[in-house]
Amino acid sequence: MPARLLGGVFILIVVCLSVPASAEAQSGGSSVILRGTVSETVALSIPPNSTQNDFNMNVVNSGGMVQVTLSGTGAPDIRVPLTIRSNSNFKVSAEVESATAVLTQFSVVDARATGALVSPEAVSDLKVAQELDRRGLGEGAAASPLDFSRPLFVLSGRRASLGGTLDSPNNALQVTFLIRLNPQTSQGWVVNLTFAGTAVNIF
């Protein structure tokens, strides 16, 4: 079902593949083997306290994708603190489309754990596409417009969450994106942004 952004929040939940789990119970000399599955889950969201007032944001969630519409006037700095919860390795891709603005920056400027239930490897082993990685380098704008007219790899990582639920405050990897635009009209701009996340077996 379509989901609308409320208070600056969007959520992307991708459920992929299955991994077997087994348990054995024994009674009276006989054994019973119970087999089940644990879904590999990747969940992306933006915290409610990250709302910004200098542009409009709306979101539609459709299965494994989140389509975000940004609109406004001027050229604001758009910071997206994307939280990632996953019980498997994952990758994220992005696509940007606009007839009224040119994307001049789409960078990862920070990554951190939100609490004790985040795997240490989630931060240390995070792999960001080289041209998008500005962690520790400042927030300078890209030298030339970026082409996101087709889905491009953004980042990948190891399992982020060691426990908890999709609502736990201490089990997410938080990755901050910085987005900058060059408006092409004086009447305002509209940008369509699509994030897609998937679970992966090999990192």
Q: What is the 3-state secondary structure (H, E, C) of the chain?
A: CCCCCCCCCCEEEEEEEEEEEEEEEEECCEEEEEEEEEEEEEEEECCHHHCCCCCEEEEEEECCEEEEEEEECCCCCEEEEEEEEECCEEEEEEEEECCCEEEEEEEEEEEEECCCCECHHHHHCCEECHHHECCCCCCCCCCCCCCCCCCEEEEEECCCECCCCCCCCCCCEEEEEEEEEEECCCCCEEEEEEEEEEEECCC
In tens, the pLDDT along 108-135 reads 999 999 999 999 999 999 999 998 998 8
Residues in CB range of 15: below 8 A, 6 or more apart: 39, 40, 41, 64
Check whether 158 has a pLDDT greater than 90: yes
Q: Residue range 11-35: average pLDDT?
A: 43
What is the band of 161 on the pLDDT scale with cuts at 50, 70, 90? very high
Give me the pLDDT at residue 202, please: 66
- Cα 141 from chain centre: 21
Check whether 10 has a pLDDT greater than 70: no
Sole residue written with tokens 């004790």: 116
From CA 83, how far away is CA 198, in angstroms rounded?
14
Query: Model's pTM, two decimal places?
Result: 0.74
Sole residue written with tokens 């990192």: 203
Check whether 31 has a pLDDT greater than 80: no
Count, residues in the chain = 203
Quote the radius of gyration of the chain (alpha carbons, Å): 19
What is the band of 147 on the pLDDT scale with cuts at 50, 70, 90? confident
